[in-house]
């Protein structure tokens, strides 16, 4: 199993540009989530999904959209990038329908200039 | 509003020492408390987790102590090794609800020779 994969690993955007961070898992996990990690702030939940077709907001959802059309994929869209969205983004998946044992991807480091 | 407070921010111990990382929470509805370990450039990985019906849980050299009345829990690493050098995050969750995991801000541990 590849586990949780994320692409790209690094990305630089200009303010106002849009992009999609890709996340895929091959473990047939129902629960998937997106976090951002900033120095001194830990990991903060952006959006999560408990199954295909079901998504919900986390702690810091503004400026981000998600969709879950399949069990495997959970892309995160930045609608109009802002410097405040410079961060490391992690996707995670979990069996058991909730974030009890999350498997994290390797992360995407995003810089917005 | 930070729901899970973690301390210290950083910690240096000698090999063989017992680093202790502390977390405190306010919301008494939290009923699942995992710890994650993160190496530089990697995503976090689940280390150990505890529910409030037990006061202590051990997995190898890692022990969680839980004090329900004080709303505090801590991670102890016995016989610490340089390979334990990483960032450690505590987290808390209310099971059976919207299932959003709340992380502490992290503790950077360095184990020296």
Question: What's residue A97's pLDDT?
Answer: 81
Cβ atoms < 10 Å from Cβ of B111? 20
Enumerate residues 7 to 66 of chain B having a beta carbon within 8 A of any beta carbon in chain A.
9, 32, 34, 41-46, 49
> Dihedrals φ, ψ of B82, to 5°?
-55, -30
Tokens of B96: 């059976």
Helix count (H) and strand count (E) of chain B? 0, 11
Average pLDDT over chain B, rounded to an integer: 93
Which residue pairs, CB below 8 angstroms and at least 24 apart, start in A7-10? A7/A108, A8/A108, A9/A106, A9/A107, A9/A108, A9/A109, A10/A108, A10/A109, A10/A110
Q: What is the pLDDT of residue B97?
A: 65
Question: What secondary structure does DSSP assign to B52-63, as a single string?
Answer: TT-SEEEETTEE
- Chain center to CA of B107: 9
Q: How do residues B56-99 score in pLDDT, each as one tens digit?
A: 999 999 999 999 999 999 999 999 999 999 999 999 998 876 67
Lowest mean pLDDT among A3-17, B46-60, B75-89, B92-106: B92-106
pLDDT on residue B48: 94
Q: By CA distance, what is A101's nearest residue in B?
A: B46
Q: Which of A40, A59, A98 sits opposite B99 (nearest CB)?
A: A98
Average of per-residue pLDDT values in chain A: 95
Q: What is the pLDDT of residue A41?
A: 86
A31: its two tokens: 């629960």
Integer-rounded Cα radius of gyration of chain B: 14
Predicted local confidence at residue B2, as pLDDT: 63
Residues from chain A that touch B9, judged by Cβ atoms under 8 A, are 40
Question: Do residues B110 and B83 touch, judged by C-beta distance below 8 A?
Answer: no
**What is chain A's alpha carbon radius of gyration, rounded to the nearest angstrom?**
13
pLDDT value, residue A98:
84
Token output for B43:
């995503």
Q: What is the mean pLDDT of residues B15-44?
A: 95
């Amino acid at each position: 199993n590849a586990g949780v994969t994320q692409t790209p690993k690094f990305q630089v955007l200009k303010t106002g540009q849009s992009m999609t961070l890709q996340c895929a898992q091959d473990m047939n996990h129902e629960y998937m989530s997106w976090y951002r990690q900033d120095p001194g702030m830990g990991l903060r939940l952006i959006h999560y999904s408990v199954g295909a077709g079901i998504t919900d907001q986390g702690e810091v959802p503004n400026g981000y959209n998600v969709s879950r059309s399949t069990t495997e994929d959970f892309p995160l869209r930045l609608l109009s990038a802002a410097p405040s969205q410079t961060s490391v983004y992690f996707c995670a998946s979990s069996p058991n329908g909730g974030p009890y044992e999350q498997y994290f991807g390797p992360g995407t480091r995003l810089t917005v200039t | 509003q930070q729901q899970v407070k973690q301390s210290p921010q950083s910690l240096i111990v000698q090999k063989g020492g017992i680093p202790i990382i502390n977390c405190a929470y306010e919301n008494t509805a939290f009923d699942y408390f995992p710890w994650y370990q993160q190496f530089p450039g990697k995503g976090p990985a689940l280390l150990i987790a505890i529910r409030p019906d037990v006061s202590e849980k051990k997995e190898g050299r890692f022990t969680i102590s839980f004090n329900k009345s004080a709303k505090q829990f801590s991670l102890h690493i016995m016989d610490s090794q340089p390979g334990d050098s990483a960032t450690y995050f505590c987290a808390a969750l209310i099971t059976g609800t919207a299932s959003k995991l709340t992380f502490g801000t992290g503790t950077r541990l360095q184990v020296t020779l």
